[in-house]
């Protein structure tokens, strides 16, 4: 052994002990735990960490803004069940990453934000250090857990705790604060290696209580009009075969939440998406699998659920399968909570169902099927139209075909109309193939998600982006081109937020707050970085450009010109707008 920098190493081996610095300990601790990718942005004090991570064989993906690296890390966590790692510099870099950390926590995605930080003794006395900030305190309210490591021999424990906190129980965002001085600390290499921890069973199975399973099955058996709702927790759990078996064995109609689409193919005969506004108020027993009764499900009450008005309860009984014991009763009474990991819970339910399980009555299934086919028919008619200029429907009709032909591609989606129309029109065929704005309806996840999805799956990515949504992360087109990722971005360009037709009521020179440059050519942005740009004004042009992007696997940005009058205010969530509320 011996120190390679020491020319007398060997003969004087005993006098010159091999040492290891903080940088190396962090890298070794991550590698020991199977972390193979870091999403980040270099600078003081972590530049050498990015270099040495790359040298050590970790894929170090550098972004143009930490927020996008953070979103990438968060969705890598969702896709892999391993914490996605985002690495940033101190104060401003940390704050740029913080939004993504909050997003990870809110969406139950495992992620670790690792930020360098400045001199503790100067920061704590507020003496004005370079990028001074008490980052740990600021991260805490939005993180599932937050830790700081001050000593090199604690790096192993720090990273082990961060991993465990991120992935065990309800997953979430974890902050790990690594002060600059830590990286330069060195310790005896052998002791350093011994200080590292390979986390054993980071996300232990959580088996539901037998009586909870029986209670749930009894309730489900009593139902005349049962409904299953699959949420992104079910997609995250990777219990795809069991979930499919449960749905099919019960014969119960199901609704996939946005990121649970594809858990079973959207074309499945039990999929009730096209009859959503019928099944929610009509159902008598609803089984939630990894879905919260938050705003996306109108809190389980009100008119959506057949309640007479605002907050009235529709009278449904609920079974809720969730890993968080605190989730039940958050909005309405949960009659049968089943607490555990989804794989174990679904297995237990399957085991408890007798062989002669009777499917729901034909009156329920028949009336769901009837609504469905009526709505599908209406949609087919709308999609077949070919208006000029192209609108969301005629463009999405193309996207729908392309996704059908490429079911393994990961589909990224953000915007308002560009999100809501896409979600209902574009079918998804496989689990975890649709990733989007999530629980907050956040704009800006787009290009970070594209990079992560391409990195994790090594396969094709297709993104449908509102023109406003795209702007939040558009500069990462350079990142996509730099790493030559097979990403096809389609910007649904309707000249603005929701639409491009608002006018400034004063008649002044400034355009309305929701309006952008008319006729912008987003495709040029890809060309600037050596990618492919395409300009599509008709469905035929869009189809050709998308097919070519997928055939070539080259980074591509298609500017799809959409009728600027086609959108509606806030897409499908107009009712949440205070103006609409006032009326
Ligand atoms: P959606 O937005 O699709 O409705 P939510 O994010 O609201 O989904 O809900 C996801 C739920 O899934 C959370 O309550 C979370 O605790 C739960 N969850 C996440 N992972 C698991 C798992 N492995 N097992 C059980 N529940 C899980
Ligand atoms: N900022 C962030 C971070 N998230 C948000 N959701 C918003 C602002 C508000 N917002 C929406 O909710 S959708 C949207 C904004 C700015 C953009 C809609 O415009 P678009 O889509 O061009 O992306 P459409 O197709 O024109 O509706
Ligand atoms: Mg728009």
Which has the closest alpha carbon to 71: 567, 394, 450, 413? 450
Q: 3-class DSSP state for residue 38?
A: strand
Q: Best substitution site from 235, 323, 344, 440 to test ligand 1's pocket, by max atoms within 8 Å of Cβ?
A: 323
The rounded mean pLDDT for the chain is 95
Ligand 1 geometric centre to CA of 291 (Å): 5
Going by C-beta distance under 8 Å and a sequence separation of 6 or more, which residues neighbour residue 230?
A: 243, 254, 255, 256, 257, 260, 263, 289, 290, 291
Q: Is the CB of 327 under 6 A from ligand 1?
A: yes
- Give nearest CA residue, ligand 2 atom 1: 443
pLDDT digits (tens, 9 = 90+) for 475-505: 999 999 999 999 999 999 999 999 999 999 9
Ligand 3 geometric centre to CA of 190 (Å): 57
Ligand 2 geometric centre to CA of 161 (Å): 36
**Ligand nearest to C-alpha 67:** 2
pLDDT digits (tens, 9 = 90+) for 222-263: 999 999 999 999 999 999 999 999 999 999 999 999 999 999
pTM: 0.96
> What's the rounded mean pLDDT across residues 161-170?
98
Ligand 2 geometric centre to CA of 168 (Å): 33
* β-bridge partners, 286: 227, 318
**Ligand nearest to C-alpha 438:** 1
Can you tell me the distance from the alpha carbon of 156 to that of 409, in angstroms, rounded to the nearest whole number? 37
571 or 551, which is more confident?
551
Can you tell me the distance from the alpha carbon of 274 to that of 504, in angstroms, rounded to the nearest whole number? 38
b/e code 561-577 from CB counts within 10 Å (16+ = b)? bbbbebbebbbebeeee
pLDDT digits (tens, 9 = 90+) for 270-283: 999 999 999 999 99
> What's the rounded mean pLDDT across residues 504-521?
97
C-beta pairs of 51-60 under 8 Å, 24+ apart in sequence? 52/23, 52/24, 52/27, 53/27, 56/27, 56/28, 56/31, 57/31, 58/27, 58/30, 58/31, 59/455
Report the pLDDT value the prediction gives residue 13, as an integer from 0 to 100.
53
Q: Best substitution site from 233, 238, 257, 341 to test ligand 1's pocket, by max atoms within 8 Å of Cβ?
A: 233
Instruction: With beta carbons less than 8 A apart as the criterion, state whether 400 and 384 touch.
Output: no
**Ligand nearest to C-alpha 99:** 2
- Give nearest CA residue, ligand 1 atom 7: 292
Q: Best substitution site from 79, 106, 108 to test ligand 1's pocket, by max atoms within 8 Å of Cβ?
A: 108
Q: Is the CB of 145 under 6 A from ligand 2?
A: no
Ligand 1 geometric centre to CA of 443 (Å): 21
Q: Best substitution site from 96, 399, 415, 561 to test ligand 2's pocket, by max atoms within 8 Å of Cβ?
A: 415
Ligand 1 geometric centre to CA of 232 (Å): 6
**Ligand nearest to C-alpha 470:** 2
Which pLDDT band holds residue 576 (cuts at 50, 70, 90)? confident
Can you tell me the distance from the alpha carbon of 131 to that of 138, in angstroms, rounded to the nearest whole number? 14
**Strand arrangement, sheet containing 254-256:** 254-256, 226-230, 285-289, 317-322, 336-339
Ligand 3 geometric centre to CA of 266 (Å): 26
pLDDT digits (tens, 9 = 90+) for 197-218: 999 999 999 999 999 999 999 9
Q: Is the CB of 436 under 6 A from ligand 1?
A: no
Q: Is the CB of 523 under 6 A from ligand 1?
A: no
Can you tell me the distance from the alpha carbon of 519 to that of 20, in angstroms, rounded to the nearest whole number? 57
Ligand 2 geometric centre to CA of 158 (Å): 38
Ligand 3 geometric centre to CA of 468 (Å): 5
pLDDT digits (tens, 9 = 90+) for 326-357: 999 999 999 999 999 999 999 999 999 987 88
Q: Is the CB of 492 under 6 A from ligand 2?
A: yes
User: Which atom, in ligand 1's list, is nearest to the CA of 294?
Assistant: 7
Q: Is the CB of 170 under 6 A from ligand 1?
A: yes
169 burial (CB, 10 Å; 0-12 / 13-18 / 19+) is middle
Of all residues in the chain, the percent with pLDDT exceeding 90 is 93
DSSP codes of every residue in 433-502: -EEESTTTT-SS-HHHHHHHHHHHH-S-EEEEEEHHHHHTTGGGHHHHHHTT--EEEEEEE-SBSS-S--
Ligand 3 geometric centre to CA of 17 (Å): 62
């Amino acid at each position: 052994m011996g120190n390679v920098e020491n020319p007398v190493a060997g003969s004087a081996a005993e006098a010159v002990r091999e040492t290891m610095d903080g940088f190396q300990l962090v890298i070794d601790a991550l590698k020991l735990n199977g972390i193979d990718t870091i999403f980040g942005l270099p600078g003081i004090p972590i530049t050498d960490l990015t270099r040495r991570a790359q040298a050590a064989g970790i894929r170090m993906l550098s972004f143009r803004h930490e927020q996008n690296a953070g979103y990438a890390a968060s969705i890598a966590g969702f896709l892999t069940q391993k914490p996605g790692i985002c690495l940033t510099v101190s104060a401003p870099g940390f704050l740029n990453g913080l939004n993504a950390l909050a997003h990870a926590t809110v969406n139950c995605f495992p992620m670790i934000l690792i930020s360098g930080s400045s001199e503790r003794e100067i920061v704590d006395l507020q003496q004005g250090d370079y990028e001074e900030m008490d980052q740990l305190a600021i991260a805490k309210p939005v993180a599932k857990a937050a830790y700081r490591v001050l000593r090199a021999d604690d790096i192993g424990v720090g990273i082990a705790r961060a991993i465990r906190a991120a992935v065990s129980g309800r997953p979430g965002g974890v902050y790990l604060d690594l002060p600059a001085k830590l990286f330069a600390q060195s310790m005896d290499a052998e002791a350093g290696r011994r200080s590292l921890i390979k986390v054993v069973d980071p996300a232990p199975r959580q088996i539901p209580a037998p009586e909870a399973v029986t209670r749930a099955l009894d309730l489900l058996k009593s139902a005349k009009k049962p409904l299953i709702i699959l949420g992104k927790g079910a997609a995250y759990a990777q219990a795809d075969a069991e979930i499919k078996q449960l749905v099919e064995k019960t014969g119960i109609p199901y609704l996939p939440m946005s990121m649970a689409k594809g858990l079973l193919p959207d074309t499945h005969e039990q999929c009730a998406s096209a009859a959503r506004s019928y099944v929610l108020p009509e159902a008598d027993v609803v089984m939630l699998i990894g879905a919260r009764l938050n705003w996306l499900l109108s809190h389980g009450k009100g008119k959506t659920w057949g309640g007479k008005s605002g907050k009235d309860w529709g009278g449904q009984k609920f079974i809720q399968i969730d890993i968080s014991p605190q989730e039940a009763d958050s909005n309405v009474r949960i009659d049968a909570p089943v607490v555990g990991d989804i794989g174990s819970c679904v297995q237990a339910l399957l085991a408890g169902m007798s062989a002669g399980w009777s499917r729901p009555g034909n009156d329920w299934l028949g009336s769901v099927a009837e609504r469905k086919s009526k709505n599908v028919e209406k949609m087919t008619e709308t999609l077949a139209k070919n208006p000029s200029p192209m609108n969301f429907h005629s463009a999405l009709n193309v996207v729908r075909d392309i996704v059908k032909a490429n079911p393994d591609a990961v589909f990224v989606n953000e915007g308002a109309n560009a999100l809501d129309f896409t979600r209902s029109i574009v079918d998804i065929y496989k689990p975890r193939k649709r990733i989007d704005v999530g629980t907050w309806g956040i704009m800006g996840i787009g290009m970070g998600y594209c990079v992560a999805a391409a990195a994790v799956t090594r396969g094709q990515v297709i993104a449908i982006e509102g023109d406003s949504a795209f702007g939040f992360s558009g500069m990462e087109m350079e990142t996509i081109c730099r790493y030559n990722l097979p990403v096809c971005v389609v910007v649904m360009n309707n000249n603005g937020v929701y639409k491009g037709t608002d006018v400034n009521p004063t008649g002044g020179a400034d355009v309305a707050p929701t309006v952008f440059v008319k006729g912008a050519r987003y495709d040029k942005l890809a060309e600037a970085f050596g990618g492919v740009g395409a300009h599509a004004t008709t469905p035929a042009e869009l189809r050709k450009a998308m097919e070519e992007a997928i055939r070539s696997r080259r980074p591509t940005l298609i500017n799809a010109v959409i009728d600027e009058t086609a959108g509606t205010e806030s897409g499908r969530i107009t009712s949440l707008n205070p103006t609409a509320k006032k009326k």
